[in-house]
Amino acid sequence: MIQPFRNPSGGLVRRDEPLRFTFNGRSYRGFGGDSLASALLANGVRVVGRSFKYHRPRGVFGLGAEEPNALVQLGVGARTEPNTKSTLVELYDGLVASSQNCWPSVDFDLGAVAGAFSRLLPAGFYYKTFKWPPGWWIKYEPFIRGMAGTGRCSQEPDPDRYEHCHAHCDVLVVGGGPAGLAAALAAGRRGERVILADEQSCLGGMLMAGGDLAWADRAIAALQAMPDVRLIPRAVVFGYYDHNQLGIVERVADHRPPRPGEARQRLWHVHAGRVVLATGAHERPIAFGNNDLPGVMLASAARGYVNRFAVRPGSAAVVFTNNDSAYDAALDLALNGVAIKCVVDARDAPGAAAEKAAASDIEVIAGSEVVEARGSRRVAGAVIAGRKGGAMRMIGCDLICVSGGWNPAVHLHAQARGRPRFDVRIGAFVPGPPVQAEVSVGAARGVFDHAGCIADGTAAGEGGRLADRPAEAALEPIWTVSARGGRRKRFIDLQNDVTDADIGLAIREGYRSVEHVKRYTTLGMGTDQGKTSNMLGFAQIAHALGADISAVGTTTFRPPYAPVTLGALAGSEGGRFFLPNRRTAMHDCHVAAGAAMLQSGPWLRPQSYPRAGESLDDAARREARAVRESVGIVDVSTLGKVEIAGRDAAEFLERVYINRWRNLPMGRCRYGVMLREDGVVFDDGTTTRIGERRYFMTTTTAQAPLVMRRLEYYRRVLWPDLDLRIVNVTDQWAAVAVAGPMSRRLLARVVEALDVDTAALPHMGYGEGRFGGRTARVFRISFSGDLAYEIYVPAGAGPALWSALCEAGVADGVTPYGVDALNTLRIEKGHVAGAELDGRATAADLGLGRMIRADGDFIGRRSLGRPGLGDPARWQLVGLVPEDGATALPHGAKIVDDEPDRYLGELTSTAWSPMLRMPIALALVSAGRDRHGQRLYATSPLAGRIVPVRVRDPHFFDPEGKRLHG
């Protein structure tokens, strides 16, 4: 199969590497080194897609990231990707792509009827549907959304890998054209660490489209020989952030299958000492009638296709320009087999370039413009006329190359908080003074000649000053041709179908700010972010307002410079790597025992240990009953653990807890409550005096990191004068609570060198023993309300401790219990936990008000006098039971009385109590302590349930606490 528009020789494509690809179901051939766009052009495919709003046929318009038209749906199945710029897709064997926004086909698209109604669809019509007729927009909306748009997302999980990595350099060079290569060379020769990133598959930039490629090859070879220079092709620098941090997405394996374990795309976080922006410039078009027809192309793009890819983008071309650069395109096209019908130059007196073209027998028509393109689905001719009047005439052609000048790519400079300024000499914005350590060089600051680019790059690479910019050859500042062409649409923004008339309408309707006109018309809001359209749009706004372009200004340049896949942003932090998990030392013991593991914050904890045929709830009830009847063991390693040491340790505890600590004897534990500065309960736990000036604090699992952070803050910022050390030892200790009437016997069998008699180890006592030759800290503390101990051993001995307890407890029927049973037991005892410590409750609300000591200050004390905290209607902790003694209470239920709209409180924790043999709950209820005995309702509108409940004391089981001393 031949490629009818491919030249037999020339270009940078590898003819010995033939590739097959499929576009819209048809098979084509291309070569290694092709882009999808160049391969389509080589095969004569001119209509690539349909436009966003009017479904007009569109073809390849640009050469790179500026492409507004030739967006394709790339790939199939889970890997399909919408809105891919075919100009940046590297061709590979087996590539499959299709057109977007057309049905049934790109050549016959029913949606094109939208074009016939275009007078009904002006700028802002979508917003207008919201206003009138009232309520109708909801009918239009699905239709409008169905008609408009681009590609389709895959609904399947992304099968590819993505990753992030960090990189550091002295100099980051953005762009691998002549200025960028020169900068990298100069910096590299000084021994600096250099990263050079370029969005194309090979370096060279616009030199590949025409220029001294041999120089580029020498430069690249020299850079590759430098050990501290890293060249990253296929890498878009998409964001420039504070502290000279930049984001780069590297397309590692978009053009070939990834190697095992390799990411498809890699997001680099670059930390740069300084940044050289050699981002080049984007050629801009001039808007004329039907300027969106396939066959209308940027002059530089046409030049790039013949020179780099040996592809003729047409057979006969009209070149329309207002500056010299398009003459290079005209000459190169002519050399490579494209007939140049004429160059239409908007200037009255084109200079030397025109003379050179004329010398090559190219007709130059000065002082003229292309008024409109003719043709149905592709260019068939150009209508030209003198700018100052005169007859129009049609010239037959299938290609119109257009150049309206060049816009320096100031995006990254502006993202780095630079403010571009309008330069009338080139009719575009150029970088202003830099705010961060960055400098723009070459075309990115309006220096377009090869020697100037190299001088710029070299100076910037050496960290020196750039030469003054030469006055550019004048261009004729035109953006949109005169309206003589009649009613043909003149597109400002090809991607979003915004015409000069749309912008005029926005101004007539009262919009003045460029940011508002942008949003009303959608100018520059496509995936190309207006790279070819914004400048034309700004000029059109200025024209309509009768203002200078410099007064109109630019819209805001925000990251990303080019679209970034969500996969690259997420990196590897999806699925099982979404959150790093914490596991206790006994994790494998739980899994081996058949535990259902529960994600609890970052921790994985056993929920319960169901036996064959047992539900999770059944298991939790069995486990809770075992604790009451014999003995259970539970992994409590997740509790926060802090060692506090120093002369002022007791003073510190008095300041952070509401109760008394100075009188805590050696070897005794005490329950403590901490407040926030606003008087609300922050956390609770026990603290034990394990040495003369040494304390061991435990915190709740959930709040442990926050408590640690606060204690550090108090110590280092508020009270640096205290003699105090604070160490987080959470990971050092594995902890098992042994609870139940048989717990003492079990403890004695497992922990050596410990006197377990009540005299030696009373309730809230502490002792130290040995386990496996290692220290065992034993605290007689009970969360369950039964006789219980917490055994702490160094985490490495945790699994052995768990196994030893299981083995030694066989005769007593020792039962491992999980979080559900732990919760059941503490609800039976009315002990508060995370659900009750909800960031709103005070100690008094929770029935802990009597703990507050009478004298001395502590964090939160001064807030306790606030009137709101003494309000008798505050929510207070109560117990609830269903009135019928049987109906389960809905989790998270609201508590109401006979007036269902009066919201009295909420149910915080509920369980089925094996001891009371009925559902029980804790709740926070307005004036709850005065309501004991009242009948209220637990309602869950979500579950559609209303359960009558009786309010009672929250201590359901053993309220006298006799069992603690068993």
Partner 1 sequence: MADSFRASPIGNGRSSLRGPRLAIEEQDWTPVTYLEGAPAGRSLPTAGRFARLGSAVLLPTGPDIYLLIGAHSDAAAIPESFDLAVDQSDAWSQLAIIGPEAAAVLAKGSALDLHPRHFPTGACAAAGFARLRAVLWRSDAERFDLLIGRSHARSLWEWLADATLEYGCAGSADDGRQ
CB nearer to partner 1: give 170 or 906.
Answer: 170
Interface with partner 1, residue 256, by CB under 8 A:
no
- Look at the alpha carbons of 574, 578, 580, 584 in this order and tell me if their dihedral is positive or negative: negative
Residues in 461-500 that interact with partner 1 by CB under 8 A: none
CB nearer to partner 1: give 166 or 388.
Answer: 166
DSSP, collapsed to helix, strand or coil, labels residue 949 as: strand
Residue 490 backbone class (left: φ over 0; alpha: ψ -120 to 50; beta: rest): beta
Q: Which of 14, 168, 417, 662 binds partner 1 (CB under 8 A)?
A: 168
Q: What DSSP character marks residue 8?
A: S
Site string for partner 1, 533-572 (x = CB under 8 A): ---------------------------------------x
Burial of 328 per CB tally in 10 Å (0-12, 13-18, 19+): buried
Cis peptide before 560 (omega within 30 of 0): yes
Site string for partner 1, 787-806 (x = CB under 8 A): -------xxxxxxx------
Q: Crossing angle, helix 514-521 and helix 534-545, to 10 degrees?
A: 120
Interface with partner 1, residue 715, by CB under 8 A:
no
Q: Which of 217, 348, 731, 884 binds partner 1 (CB under 8 A)?
A: 731
Q: Which of 22, 118, 565, 581 binds partner 1 (CB under 8 A)?
A: 581
Query: Of 162-170, 432-440, 506-514, 910-918, which part binds partner 1 (CB under 8 A)?
Result: 162-170
Q: Crossing angle, helix 213-224 and helix 178-189, to 10 degrees?
A: 30
Interface with partner 1, residue 243, by CB under 8 A:
no
CB of 222 to partner 1, least distance (A): 21
CB of 643 to partner 1, least distance (A): 6
CB nearer to partner 1: give 397 or 586.
Answer: 586
CA dist., res. 373 & res. 394, Å (int): 9
- Look at the alpha carbons of 719, 669, 831, 606 in this order and tell me if their dihedral is positive or negative: positive
Q: Which of 3, 499, 730, 908 binds partner 1 (CB under 8 A)?
A: 730
CB of 89 to partner 1, least distance (A): 24
Please state the separation of Cα 830 from the chain's center in Å.
43
Q: Which of 131, 576, 850, 962 binds partner 1 (CB under 8 A)?
A: 576
Query: Of 202-210, 641-649, 853-861, 925-933, which part binds partner 1 (CB under 8 A)?
Result: 641-649
Q: Which of 26, 119, 131, 166 binds partner 1 (CB under 8 A)?
A: 166
Interface with partner 1, residue 261, by CB under 8 A:
yes
CB of 750 to partner 1, least distance (A): 13
Contact 939, 893 (CB under 8 A): yes
Interface with partner 1, residue 10, by CB under 8 A:
no
Contact 44, 59 (CB under 8 A): no
Q: Crossing angle, helix 798-808 and helix 743-750, to 10 degrees?
A: 120
Per-position DSSP letters for 113-174, written without gaps between them: HHHHTGGGS-TTHHHHHHHSSTTTHHHHHHHHHHHS-------SPP-S-EEEEEEEEEEEEE
Q: Which of 124, 463, 646, 667 binds partner 1 (CB under 8 A)?
A: 646
Interface with partner 1, residue 262, by CB under 8 A:
yes
Query: Of 48-56, 118-126, 160-168, 899-907, which part binds partner 1 (CB under 8 A)?
Result: 160-168
Interface with partner 1, residue 735, by CB under 8 A:
no
Interface with partner 1, residue 718, by CB under 8 A:
no
User: SS in 3 state form for 868-927?
Assistant: HHHCCCCEEEEEEEECCCCCCCCCCCEEECCCCCCEEEEEEEEEEECCCCEEEEEEEEEC
Within 8 A by CB and 6+ apart from 162, the residues are 263, 264, 265, 266, 267, 565, 567, 568, 570, 571, 572
Q: Which of 501, 544, 633, 645 binds partner 1 (CB under 8 A)?
A: 645
CB of 435 to partner 1, least distance (A): 23
CB of 215 to partner 1, least distance (A): 30
DSSP, collapsed to helix, strand or coil, labels residue 749 as: helix
Strands 438-440 and 265-277: parallel
CB nearer to partner 1: give 129 or 803.
Answer: 803
Interface with partner 1, residue 583, by CB under 8 A:
yes
Residues in 191-210 that interact with partner 1 by CB under 8 A: 193
Q: Which of 119, 259, 508, 962 binds partner 1 (CB under 8 A)?
A: 259
- Look at the alpha carbons of 567, 568, 572, 574 in this order and tell me if their dihedral is positive or negative: negative
Find where tokens 């050079």 sit: 196
Structure tokens at 853: 């000591």
Interface with partner 1, residue 598, by CB under 8 A:
no
CA dist., res. 639 & res. 685, Å (int): 9
CB nearer to partner 1: give 640 or 685.
Answer: 640
Interface with partner 1, residue 260, by CB under 8 A:
yes
Query: Of 180-188, 457-465, 596-604, 735-743, which part binds partner 1 (CB under 8 A)?
Result: 596-604
CB nearer to partner 1: give 152 or 774.
Answer: 774
CB of 219 to partner 1, least distance (A): 24
Interface with partner 1, residue 587, by CB under 8 A:
yes
Please state the φ and ψ torsions of residue 605, each to the nearest 5 degrees: -130, 150
Q: Which of 149, 772, 849, 966 binds partner 1 (CB under 8 A)?
A: 772
CA dist., res. 188 & res. 198, Å (int): 17
Site string for partner 1, 270-289 (x = CB under 8 A): -x------------------
How many residues in the shown chain lie near partner 1 by CB under 8 A? Answer: 53
Site string for partner 1, 437-466 (x = CB under 8 A): ------------------------------
CB of 731 to partner 1, least distance (A): 4
Structure tokens at 446: 């309006």
CA dist., res. 320 & res. 917, Å (int): 90
Interface with partner 1, residue 643, by CB under 8 A:
yes
Single-letter amino acid, residue 16:
D
CA dist., res. 849 & res. 346, Å (int): 87
Q: Which of 12, 167, 806, 888 binds partner 1 (CB under 8 A)?
A: 167
CB of 41 to partner 1, least distance (A): 36
Q: What DSSP character marks residue 175?
A: -
Interface with partner 1, residue 862, by CB under 8 A:
no
Q: Which parts of 187-338 are beta strand (E)?
A: 194-197, 229-232, 235-241, 245-251, 265-277, 281-283, 296-298, 316-321
Structure tokens at 498: 């915004």
CB nearer to partner 1: give 560 or 799.
Answer: 799
Kindly give the residue spans of alpha helices, DSSP state H, lying in 688-742.
704-713
DSSP, collapsed to helix, strand or coil, labels residue 193 as: coil
Q: Which of 67, 163, 398, 493 binds partner 1 (CB under 8 A)?
A: 163
Strands 632-635 and 491-493: unpaired
Q: Which of 127, 130, 577, 903 binds partner 1 (CB under 8 A)?
A: 577
Task: Report the run of H or E that residue 306 belongs to, with start and end.
Answer: helix 299-309
CB of 946 to partner 1, least distance (A): 41
Single-letter amino acid, residue 332:
D
Q: Which of 113, 352, 551, 727 binds partner 1 (CB under 8 A)?
A: 727
Interface with partner 1, residue 164, by CB under 8 A:
yes
Interface residue list for partner 1 (CB under 8 A): 163-168, 193, 259-263, 269, 271, 572-573, 576-577, 580-585, 587-588, 591, 597, 603-604, 637, 643, 645-646, 725, 727, 729-734, 771-774, 794-800
